[in-house]
Amino acid sequence: MLGSGAFNYIDVLNKAAKASWKRNELLVNNLANVSTPGYKRKDIQFAPYLKSALIGEGSLDKRVAKAARNGRIEPTVYTDNSSLSYRLDGNNVDIDTESAMLAENQIYYNTILESMTQEFSRIRTVLSK
């Protein structure tokens, strides 16, 4: 069972959940630094890496298995618009934008967790028959 690839979807979902968790930390940190002069917001890039890993020939199962084995699907933290500033003090954090991104990311994270729960449920169903 362990070598069958049954956990490939869970492995990929786990990578996405970790990236979403890290993004949540960054967004909260951005909000905490909304009044810090010179602070530049930080964000994470993950979705393009996952998308490129899942594109290709073959069935979805084969592409997911390849993505699960791919160690390059890791999030990248970057400083966003480091040369732009919304205020005279050099800070580029907009509280409304950050709050909206945080809410969106929390929904995304909960969706990933629900998908993982469904995958484990499928595995449990197979094992119980």
pLDDT tens for 35-77 read 999 999 999 999 998 888 888 888 888 888 888 887 678 899 9
Across 6-15, 71-80, 93-102, the highest mean pLDDT is recorded for 93-102
Distance CA 97, CA 30 (A): 11
pTM, two decimals, is: 0.84
Distance CA 84, CA 40 (A): 9
Q: Kindly tell me the burial class for residue 102, based on how many C-beta atoms sit within 10 Å of its own C-beta (0-12, 13-18, 19 or more).
A: middle
> Tokens 């010179």 label which residue?
38
DSSP 3-state assignment of 79?
Answer: strand
CA 1, 68, 46, 19 torsion-angle sign: positive
pLDDT reported for residue 123? 85
